[in-house]
Amino acid sequence: MTPTPVWLVVADRLTARTFFDCGIVDRLHARLGDRLRVAFIFRREDAQEWSARVPDGVPLVHVGDLYPASVAPVERVRRRLDRWLDERIGYYPLAIRLSLRHGFHRERMRPGHRNQLLDSSRVGPLPVRPRIESAMRRWHFSPRRFVASALRRRLEAERPAIVLSNLQMQSATPFLVLGQRLGLRTIGYVASWDHTVGKGVIWNGLARYIVQNDRMRDDLVGYHDVDRDRIVVTGWPQTDVFHRRRPREAYDEVLRRYGLDAARPVAMVMGNTPTNMPYEGAFFARLVEWWSSSGASERFSLLFRPHPRDDEWRERFAPAFDRPGVAVQEPSHTDIDVLATLLQHVDVVVTNAGTVLLDALVNDRPSVCVLYDEGAPAGESWAEKSVIGEHYADVASSRAFHEARSFDEVVAGIERCLDAPDELAAERRAVTAIVVGAVDGHSADRVVDAILEEVP
Interatomic CA distance for residues 128 and 310, integer angstroms:
34
Measure the CA dihedral 218/220/223/224, to 10°.
-160
Residue burial 279-290, b: 16+ Cβ < 10 Å; e: rest: bbbebbbebbeb
Interatomic CA distance for residues 332 and 309, integer angstroms:
8
Interatomic CA distance for residues 154 and 196, integer angstroms:
30
Interatomic CA distance for residues 168 and 9, integer angstroms:
12
Domains of the chain by start residue, with CATH: 6-68+148-239+441-452 (3.40.50.2000), 73-140 (no CATH), 245-435 (3.40.50.2000)
State pLDDT tens for residues 212-256.
Answer: 999 999 999 999 999 999 999 999 999 999 999 999 999 999 999
- The DSSP annotation for 313-363 comes to HHHHTGGGTT-TTEEEPPP-SS-HHHHHHHHTT-SEEEE-SSHHHHHHHHT
pLDDT computed for residue 1 by the predictor: 66
State pLDDT tens for residues 295-320.
Answer: 999 999 999 999 998 999 999 999 99
Q: Do residues 162 and 185 lie in contact, with contact meaning Cβ atoms separated by under 8 Å?
A: yes
Q: Half-sphere exposure of 398 toward its Cβ, with a 13 Å CA cutoff?
A: 28
Name the pTM for this structure.
Answer: 0.92
Interatomic CA distance for residues 320 and 191, integer angstroms:
33
The distance in angstroms from the start CA to the end CA of the chain is: 11
Q: How far is CA 100 from CA 93, 97, 134, 380, in A?
A: 11, 5, 15, 21
Q: How far is CA 226 from CA 32, 86, 193, 199, 220, in A?
A: 28, 23, 17, 16, 6
Q: Which residues of the chain have pLDDT under 50?
A: none
pLDDT computed for residue 121 by the predictor: 95
> Which amino acid is present at 329?
Q
